[in-house]
């Protein structure tokens, strides 16, 4: 069953829900890779090290939580977030 989805111009597209979910998964992977790139290392690494504590142990759940928070909510020096910068660099995203 295909589900019609409204685009930014309120026109109907032919993308199914499955296709949209697949695209979201691709974008999430790209976003996480972007956040873990060297350009953000000076902000992300200290957050992970602090959470790991003196034993430098960090479980996967905590690492994911910290990275997601960093991507979505952490304010960089210019006031933007990682996701703001990622979206600004994506020319193929619809509204």
Interval 12-41: pLDDT, tens? 456 789 999 999 999 999 999 999 999 999
For the purposes of burial, counting CB atoms within 10 Å of the CB of 71, is it exposed (0-12), middle (13-18) or buried (19 or more)? buried
Q: Among 47, 53, 56, 58, which residue's Cα sits nearest to residue 82?
A: 47
Query: 53 lies in a domain?
Result: yes
Query: 44 lies in a domain?
Result: yes
Query: 60 lies in a domain?
Result: yes
Please give the mean pLDDT across all residues of the chain: 87
Query: 34 lies in a domain?
Result: yes
Mean pLDDT of the region 83-87: 96
- How many domains is the chain partitioned into structurally? 1
Query: 19 lies in a domain?
Result: no
Query: 14 lies in a domain?
Result: no
Total-model pTM: 0.76
Query: 69 lies in a domain?
Result: yes
Q: What percent of the chain has pLDDT over 90?
A: 73
Query: 23 lies in a domain?
Result: no
Indicate if the pLDDT at residue 3 is higher than 80: no
Domain range holding 50? 28-88
End-to-end CA distance of the chain: give it in Å, rounded.
Answer: 24
């Amino acid at each position: 069953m295909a589900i019609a989805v409204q685009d930014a111009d309120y026109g109907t597209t032919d993308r199914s829900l499955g296709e949209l979910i697949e695209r979201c998964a691709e974008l999430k992977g790209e976003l996480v890779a972007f956040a873990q790139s060297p350009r953000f290392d000076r902000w992300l690494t200290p957050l992970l090290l602090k959470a790991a504590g003196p034993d430098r142990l960090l479980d996967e759940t905590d690492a994911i939580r910290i990275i997601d928070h960093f991507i979505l909510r952490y304010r960089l020096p210019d006031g933007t977030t990682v996701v703001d910068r990622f979206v600004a660099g994506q020319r193929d995203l619809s509204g």
